[in-house]
Structure 1
Amino acid sequence: MTKHTTRFTLTRRAFGAVAALSLMLPFAGSAYAQSTMKLASATINDVQHEWQKEFQKEVESRVGTALKVEIYPASQLGAIPRMSEGVLLGTIEAFTTPTSFVTNVDPRFQAFDVPGLFKDADEVDAVIHDKDFRDYMETLFLDKGVRIIGAIFNSPTQILTREPVTTLDGFKGLKVRTFASPLQMEPMAALGVNPTPLALSEVTPQLQAGGIDGMLAGIPILTAFKFYDTAKHVTNINMNQIVSVTLVNEAWFQSQPEEVRTAIIEAGRAAEKTVFPWGVENVERAEKAWLGNGGEIHTLPDDQQAELQATFARVADEVIAGQPAVIEVKGRIVAKLEEVRSK
């Protein structure tokens, strides 16, 4: 073989290697560009979990494997305070939770928890999915480093107890697990209850041991976690309509390519619209399942229910008095509700 032939052979081999590398580069680039979003929650088989699954599908349909969404329900990434801390620090990219559990992040979340604010699920839907209000809601907490990418009707707040409660006097002296929110703790204290914030994972052993007498929750959670095996009684206090949100760490969000950021926002809003009717029907399914598994649902006499609601409203006003930022957000909600109710 001549020197010229050798040089030609090497050149041809080099060209082939470059060509092979160029074919591999798009795949290598995609692998390098892929990002992972850990999406956490404390619950499972409920509307929060359903939103997460829909969000995962919506993201994949938009950007394929550019963003890998991993779902961790049932407190797999820690108790609620740890998950809340995680999304603030960025160790968890996103966290789905009732607003009551993040009032320590920002007291303005209390505005969504005011007892009696929303009459029913349809009013929640009309407000939080109104485009203008939803835009406002998404960026409301950016100053705390989190963005809302999902807003969901969850369920009405009821009370689970080991013994039946059918009158207002029945609440007195009970030790009840509440969300760590003043708008749950203070109204219950006004009824003579000892409010006790606890992680969801701690509730069953505490109920079994007699450490607590009951808990505040939506009935889909009570059914999903089979609380009817521990405490059979639910009193329909209809304290408030629980709103759940999915928070994403803003620094992580901004580090993503524009295409991924757009997909996250679009996927979150598409998922919340899809799961709204699912969530409403899930409350009905949960009530049937509760009764079907030996649980009981009680109501207060009409006059006592009216007194209960009046107490809740009075205490709520007292709790947020002197908190202009909370009152401002509540005012935006009330203005939208008045607009909806006038139609």
Structure 2
Amino acid sequence: MRRVVKQFSHTKIIFLAALIVPFLFQTCKGPGGVRVIKLGHGLGVTHPVHEAMEYMAKLVHEKSGGEMEIRIYPNQQLGTERELVELLQIGSLGMTKVSTAAMENFAPKIQVLSLPYLFSDDEHRDAVLKGEIGQQLLLEGENYWLRGLCYYDAGKRSFYTKNKPIESPEELKGLKMRVMESNTAINMVKAFGGSPTPVSYGELYTALQQGIVDGAENNPPSLFTSKHYEVCKYYSINEHSAVPDMVIISTKVWNLLGDQEKTWLQEAADESATYQYELWARSVENSLAEMEKAGVEITYPELEPFRKAVEPMYEMLKNNQPELYSIVEKIRAIQ
């Protein structure tokens, strides 16, 4: 396979690298022989993903006896999710967190994890991600210099809006709904009848305020920690997808690590994922309670109309991308 940077401007990547490489490049051992890996992400410091990453950094330090260090830069300090992934591809940043929905731009097979109503329940999702299929998908981006270390729970995504609750797919008609830069997410909102509008997560609060979009879709902790609920007072829990997050490392950085360093990092990532799942469950409960206190109207629409609305997506996949559809069939067969 010809190794290329998919979807993104080569000129832009070079520009970003010229600006940030001197600051970021830490793949060689620093003073005292400490291996430093820099990790950037776009979430706030109160988000359970950030807390889990801090735990991972702590574990790396402990396991290595101080020979390895992960330095974390939250809140888009080093760029948007898309820009951070670009920096990983050229080896200028060590690690980041990315939604698997965004990863489909680099490794097409990963898009199956973004399909609406793919998993029957949480146990089914966990069996898939921890099993052979999930582990294979972690490595799907290696041809594009991106290696998955583990999955983090990103919960279930539902719609939140400014002016009215979404009780059925029909009520999305004519609404501009923010989506991630994911063809699967775009096609899903179209199937529901809405108008999908990709917007950077960091720019979404302003886009909602200014009416650039009428709403968005995300999980409870992200809606709460981003304070989007200050603008959107309706949260309709239709749980259309359970798109996981993925902690990824640049293969350019990974390949410079010694075998023992790789073991320390992988073990820390796996243990942080277990911790993150626990944090996530508590965060969902707390986020919903706090948003209700803040006056958000939380509703639970009937799910069957939403499921029926997206059935054509599976038929299209079956007819046009049989290789991907075969993965869907394997996922559905897992008990």
Using structure 2 for the length normalisation, give the TM-score: 0.85
Aligned to 1:13: none
Worse-superposed segment, 323-332 or 174-183? 323-332
SS of alignment partner, residue 244 of structure 2:
strand
Question: Which of residues 325, 328, 332 is equivalent to 1:334?
Answer: 332
Alignment check: 8 A CA contact 2:178 2:217 kept? yes
Deviations 1:39-58 (A, max 9, x none): 12222233321321121111
Aligned partners of 2:31, 2:295: CA distance in 1, in Å? 52
1:32 CA displacement: 5.4
For residues 35-184 of structure 1, the aligned pairs below 5 Å read 35-44=35-44, 45-130=46-131, 132-133=132-133, 135-165=135-165, 166-184=167-185
Aligned partners of 2:308, 2:274: CA distance in 1, in Å? 32
Aligned to 1:295: 296
- For the structure 1 residues 238 and 134, does the alpha-carbon distance in structure 2 shift closer, same or farther, using more than 3 Å as the test? closer
Deviations 1:118-156 (A, max 9, x none): 1333322222124x4454344332222221112122110
Alignment check: 8 A CA contact 1:115 1:316 kept? no
Aligned partners of 2:254, 2:227: CA distance in 1, in Å? 36
Aligned to 1:21: none
Aligned to 1:311: 309
Aligned to 2:11: none
1:241 CA displacement: 0.8
Q: Which runs of 4+ in 1 moved over 6 A?
A: none
Alignment check: 8 A CA contact 1:42 1:97 kept? no
1:162 CA displacement: 0.2
User: Does 2:227 align with 1:226?
Assistant: yes
1:274 CA displacement: 2.1
Letter in 2 for 1:39: L
Aligned to 2:19: none
Alignment check: 8 A CA contact 2:91 2:250 kept? yes
Letter in 2 for 1:31: P
- For the structure 1 residues 192 and 134, does the alpha-carbon distance in structure 2 shift closer, same or farther, using more than 3 Å as the test? closer
Alignment check: 8 A CA contact 1:41 1:73 kept? yes
- For the structure 1 residues 332 and 75, does the alpha-carbon distance in structure 2 shift closer, same or farther, using more than 3 Å as the test? farther
- For the structure 1 residues 38 and 205, does the alpha-carbon distance in structure 2 shift closer, same or farther, using more than 3 Å as the test? same
1:332 CA displacement: 4.3
Aligned partners of 1:285, 1:105: CA distance in 2, in Å? 34
Which ranges in structure 1 are unaligned for 5 or more consecutive residues?
1-28
Aligned to 2:239: 238
Q: Which has the higher helix share?
A: 1
Aligned to 1:190: 191
SS of alignment partner, residue 242 of structure 1:
coil
- For the structure 1 residues 101 and 140, does the alpha-carbon distance in structure 2 shift closer, same or farther, using more than 3 Å as the test? closer
Give the length in aligned residue pairs: 305
Letter in 1 for 2:253: W
Alignment check: 8 A CA contact 1:206 1:212 kept? yes
1:97 CA displacement: 1.7
1:35 CA displacement: 2.1
- For the structure 1 residues 240 and 30, does the alpha-carbon distance in structure 2 shift closer, same or farther, using more than 3 Å as the test? closer
Alignment check: 8 A CA contact 2:317 2:325 kept? no
Aligned to 2:212: 211
Letter in 2 for 1:205: T
User: Does 2:268 align with 1:270?
Assistant: no
- For the structure 1 residues 92 and 215, does the alpha-carbon distance in structure 2 shift closer, same or farther, using more than 3 Å as the test? same
1:313 CA displacement: 3.0
User: Does 2:34 align with 1:34?
Assistant: yes
Using structure 1 for the length normalisation, give the TM-score: 0.83
Which ranges in structure 2 are unaligned for 5 or more consecutive residues?
1-28
Alignment check: 8 A CA contact 1:125 1:153 kept? no
SS of alignment partner, residue 213 of structure 2:
coil
Alignment check: 8 A CA contact 2:40 2:77 kept? yes
